[in-house]
Amino acid sequence: MTFTASQIALLIHGKVEGDSSVSVGSFGKIEEAQPGQLAFLANPKYEEHLYSTNASVIIINDNLELKQSIGATLIRVPDAYTAFAALLTKYQEIVTQQLSGIQQPVYISKTASYGQNVFIGAFAYLGEHVKVGDHSKIFPGVYLGDHVIIGNNSIIHPGVKIYHDCVIGNNVTIHAGTVIGSDGFGFAPQADGSFKKVPQIGNVVIEDHVEIGANASIDRATIGSTIIRSGAKLDNLIQIAHNVEVGNSTVIAAQAGVSGSTKIGKNVMIGGQVGIVGHLQIGDGAKINAQSGVSKSLDPGKVVTGSPAHDYTAALRSQAIGRNLPELEKRVKELEALVMQLMKEKIS
């Protein structure tokens, strides 16, 4: 599958500089790309490779001023990174659209239903009253429990397990090995020191345009729903506990964990390995630095770091002071010596 520079420019609303008829059939990093490949330049530190790359077509920013001539065809756009991402999305759509039909063997309950142009891979399991929307792709080895609903244009990658009653929206992508709707961690302490399991009878609701990475775990609610709002993006190996709500367009990096009933606002950014205790409110637009431990609710727009998490700006000031401690110690010793000398002179 090949595309000309002019066709690519049309897709990403770019302007061609050079041979618009040159064609490419694959992608490559700008420092490694070969003839017939397309690359992009968004980070200035890679600009040196622009003049030595073998790529046939390169997407660059409108405002980039060339320091020397380039043999490749250029496509100028306002934001090269965003344009390249859009192009990759189009390419992926073309590839996945080629998948359709039902492979064998599969198990599809007589009460299950699916829409037009779906793909259901081998060894998939669709339980009672499952519904799969138009153009969705269910890859091999996926388990969909009873009454699960999958919206339109969603992609459920191999080995995903979605327990009963969970609802997945439109244009959702869930990567391999993720578990949706397993029991929340609810156990009531007993007088004899044992723990009695609290039944988890809620579900998980994942709204539209959400992407969830590989081997993540999102627990069903005790009562009601654990909710991932529209546009949220979750990385690999994330734990979302029962009755948590993740707001619109919030992003959470790998290995983070959110304890039960915490409510996370919209446009929140959570770094890798962050831990958030239960029953907190994380305000809209808050930012939590990697490996932070959050034990208190955060106001909207708050930026925190550390464990326990505290104000990010104050933490930077503390780090600066810490780096100066050896010099401060030296100055204190010098002052002590000066004071001792002055005292001796006064006594004498």
Catalytically active residues, by annotation = 242
Alpha-carbon dihedral sign for residues 6, 10, 12, 16: positive
* Closest residue by Cα to residue 24 from 72, 89, 92: 72
**What is the rounded distance in angstroms from the CA atom of residue 269 to the CA atom of residue 289?**
8
Q: Measuring CA to CA, which residue among 44, 144, 137 is closest to residue 93?
A: 137
Contact of 168 with 149, CB cutoff 8 Å? yes
Facing residues of 294 across strands?
276
The sheet with strand 263-264 has its strands ordered as 113-114, 131-132, 149-150, 167-168, 203-206, 225-228, 245-246, 263-264, 281-282
The first and second tokens of residue 214, run together, are: 């590989």
CA angle 133, 136, 141 (to 5 degrees): 115
- Helix, strand, or coil (residue 83): helix
- The radius of gyration of the chain's CA atoms, rounded to the nearest angstrom, is 27
Buried-state track 302-324, b at ≥16 Cβ within 10 A, e below 16? bbbbbeebeebeebeeeeeeeee
